[in-house]
Amino acid sequence: MSEADLSAIWLTLKLATIVTVVLLIVGTPIAWWLARTRSPFKGVIGAVVALPLVLPPTVLGFYLLLVMGPNGPIGQFTQWLGIGLLPFTFTGLVIGSVFYSLPFVVQPIQNAFEAIGERPLEVAATLRASPWDTFWSVAVPLAKPGFLSGAILGFAHTVGEFGIVLMIGGNIPEKTRVVSVQIYDHVEALDYAQAHWLAGGMVLFSFAVLLALYTFNPSRKKTP
């Protein structure tokens, strides 16, 4: 494996880790809100969160490129802040990946929150726990399997993305060239042997992740 391959692997892992952490922070309140709200906007927000499941990544990447570009609102804002433009930077890649993997983190957590039901939260209230206290001491521990699934799926999905990386990340070594793009480069250069190493590695990695998910996730939990 070449230096460039290793650097692509390292960059991919770094990207996936950061994206997963950001998604857990951003996705948890969204999942909680979606699981508990009776607002008429629930359907709209739920659909927006789920959009990346059906949209081609190129569509998402295209619009993010426009919004973060020099004439887009976010682009103008970031320029005004003095941090320049986000497309074709690692930060831009993180933002794009967060949007793209959002449903993979929000939905398992939302399902886990919904499965808890109303009762444990009411019990906690009658035991003097404030809503904030209840969230951390009852809801989060009971939704642990959902957080685990969400984190694993978010990480794995970010590792596996390609289209959105090309659209807003480009192909800059050590900045935005992740494994999936590197494989594409190898194939384009007809360097199948190199492609095999990375592609085979991805297959093994993905299988291991899903195996872990299906083996260790206690989906049939008892609630006495």
Partner 1 sequence: MNSEIRAVFRVDRNDFQLNAELNLPGHGVTALFGHSGSGKTTCLRALAGLERFPGGYCAIGDTVWQDEQRGHFVPTHQRSLGMVFQEASLFPHLSVRQNMEFGQKRASTATNRFALPEIAHLLGIDHLLDRSPAQLSGGERQRVAIARALLTTPQILLMDEPLAALDHQRKREILPYLENLHQELSIPIVYVSHSPDEVARLADHLVLLDQGRVKASGPLNEVLSRIDLPAAFGDDTGVVITARVAEHEADDLTRLEFTGGTIYVSRISQALGTPMRCRIHARDVSLALVPQVHSSILNCVNASVVELGATDTPGHVLVKLDVAGNPLLARITRRSAERLEIRPGLNLLAQIKAVALLA
State how far the Cα of 128 lies from the Cα of 67, in Å rounded to an integer. Answer: 46
| Cβ distance to partner 1 smaller for residue 126 or 215 | 126
| Cβ distance to partner 1 smaller for residue 34 or 140 | 140
The total of other beta-carbon atoms located within 10 Å of residue 186's CB is 21
Place of tokens 């990695």: 205
CB contact at 8 A, 139 and 116: yes
User: In this structure, which amino acid lies at residue 162?
Assistant: F
| Cβ distance to partner 1 smaller for residue 38 or 119 | 119
The nearest distance, CB 183 to partner 1, in angstroms, is: 42
The nearest distance, CB 108 to partner 1, in angstroms, is: 18
Tokens of 122: 């009411």
State how far the Cα of 151 lies from the Cα of 223, in Å rounded to an integer. Answer: 23
What is the contact surface with partner 1 in residues (CB under 8 A)? 119-120, 122-131, 133-134, 137-138, 141-142, 144, 221-224
| Cβ distance to partner 1 smaller for residue 38 or 128 | 128
Q: Which of 125, 102, 120 is nearest to 52 (CA)?
A: 102
The nearest distance, CB 123 to partner 1, in angstroms, is: 5
The nearest distance, CB 112 to partner 1, in angstroms, is: 13
